[in-house]
Structure 1
Amino acid sequence: MNVINRAKSMILSPKTEWDVIDGEQPDNAKVITGYVLPLAGLAAIAAFIGYAFIGFDAGLFRIKGINWGIYQAINTLVGAVLGVFVSAFVIDALASSFGSEKNMGRSVQLVAYAYTPAWVGGLLAVLPRLAFLGAIFALYGLYLLYIGLPKMKRTPEDKQLSYFIVSLLVILAVYFVIGMIMSALVMPSMGLSMSKDILESIKIQ
């Protein structure tokens, strides 16, 4: 699998690319190591550079420094892998409720490739002030998820919208929980604290 070509095709001609993926044998290890990690890894590197050396002002405090860069990079990489697996697991578990095929391998393919715009957009984190544009670009992944359901999960047309909505809610919930866990466990271990930075900023002023 050529990562660049697959990412390009998923963004520019997703309907055709879903047909190509449908003809591939599901291989979770290959998808994760050959696609998710390379793309998410590049986004993580961009996040590290942006938050470690450029940073940005967030109201009363400034987010910048090596620890912030490491945290954002870890958050991006861990969030990508866990996000794909957990989202795919729940979506697959719900498949029968929407007349769809229960197949974990296909669910991993669906979620991983639908996340493509999020990781490509994540490259903009190299300039933190533009990171929101990457988040907006990530919304395109919702369209990829929607049109991918009939191919990857054999979802009937009359169940496609409802399955998509539930899948979207699952993905949002998964990333919210992962974000909370990362904030609670990783930030303190690295000496990072929003409230601490705000207080320091006020003292400087």
Structure 2
Amino acid sequence: MTEIPSNNLPPMAAGVISRAKDILLKPKETWPVIAAEPATTQSIYVPYVVLLAAIGPLAGFIGGQLFGISMLGITYHPPLVGALVTAIVTYGLSLATVFILALVIDGLAPSFGGQKDQVQALKVAAYAGTAGWVGGVFGLIPALGIISLLFALYGLYLLYLGLPVVMKAPQDKAIGYTVVVIIVYIVLFLIIGAVVGALAAPSLVSIRG
């Protein structure tokens, strides 16, 4: 497979791809770099989070329309408008979740011997989410959704590696720190699922009607 030369890509896209590749393939070397580099909330979100968080919703939307969703031998193609609403809402809530998770990481830091710093906490939330976002591309083929789950699980490992480095928490408290953050993330994930379902339902009903 021929790799696309980085100089053929817009600088912004090339930077996102390079950082994503580094955090996925060599996280132990990359987290210290992330911890030391200057950043702001805007520089973390744009373009990194804004671009990568769109992968899953966009892939899921396209995959659902092209291939449909199969359950119990039945293939279902979501109505176009309902699927679009779901994708947009999911994307928006994903962006918000990164910020909320960063607040949680920052707030918990002193309890695990770390240092409070909202920007550093946002780095952890954003870059640890890389695996899950990249794995979202498999939503293009709904039957491969399990692969997306595996990527998300790898993201938990990235979180475990990044918390002690970026938040300056003792290594012996990294597991506890990670577990608590994961629990909060699961709660947020369930809330997002409920909100997306509630907001998309009226569109689905109107289409069917």
Q: TM-score range by the shorter chain?
A: 0.7 to 0.9
The secondary structure found in structure 2 opposite 1:57 is strand
What is the identity, as a one-letter code, of the residue corresponding to 2:39?
P
- Cα distance in 1, alignment partners of residues 143 and 63 from structure 2: 9
What is aligned with 1:3?
Answer: 16
What is the identity, as a one-letter code, of the residue corresponding to 1:48?
F
What is the identity, as a one-letter code, of the residue corresponding to 2:94?
A
TM-score by length of 2: 0.85
What is aligned with 1:182?
Answer: 196
The answer (yes or no) to whether the contact 1:146–1:160 under 8 Å persists in 2 is yes
Question: After alignment, is 76-85 or 170-179 more displaced?
Answer: 76-85
- Cα distance in 1, alignment partners of residues 83 and 204 from structure 2: 13
TM-score by length of 1: 0.87
How many residues are treated as equivalent by the alignment?
Answer: 195
Question: After alignment, is 115-124 or 17-26 more displaced?
Answer: 17-26
2:69 maps to which of 26, 35, 56: 56
Alignment of 1:119-134 (within 5 A): 119-134=133-148
Pair 1:42 & 2:55 matched: yes
Question: After alignment, is 18-27 or 68-77 more displaced?
Answer: 68-77
Structure 2, gaps ≥5 residues long: 1-11
Shift in Å, 1:75: 4.3
Structure 1, gaps ≥5 residues long: 198-205
Shift in Å, 1:44: 2.4
Query: Which 4+ residue blocks in structure 1 deviate beyond 3 angstroms?
Result: none
Alignment of 1:3-22 (within 5 A): 3-22=16-35
The answer (yes or no) to whether the contact 2:131–2:152 under 8 Å persists in 1 is yes
Distance 1:183 1:64, change over 3 A: closer
Distance 1:14 1:167, change over 3 A: same
Shift in Å, 1:112: 0.6
Shift in Å, 1:79: 3.2
Pair 1:170 & 2:190 matched: no
Pair 1:77 & 2:77 matched: no
C-alpha RMSD of the superposition: 2.2
What is aligned with 1:151?
Answer: 165
- Cα distance in 2, alignment partners of residues 61 and 192 from structure 1: 19
Shift in Å, 1:103: 0.8
Pair 1:25 & 2:38 matched: yes
Distance 1:22 1:130, change over 3 A: same
- Cα distance in 2, alignment partners of residues 69 and 7 from structure 1: 28
The secondary structure found in structure 1 opposite 2:70 is strand
Question: After alignment, is 115-124 or 130-139 more displaced?
Answer: 130-139
Give me the identity figure in percent: 36
Shift in Å, 1:107: 0.8
What is aligned with 1:200?
Answer: none
- Cα distance in 2, alignment partners of residues 116 and 181 from structure 1: 23
- Cα distance in 1, alignment partners of residues 111 and 170 from structure 2: 11
What is aligned with 1:203?
Answer: none
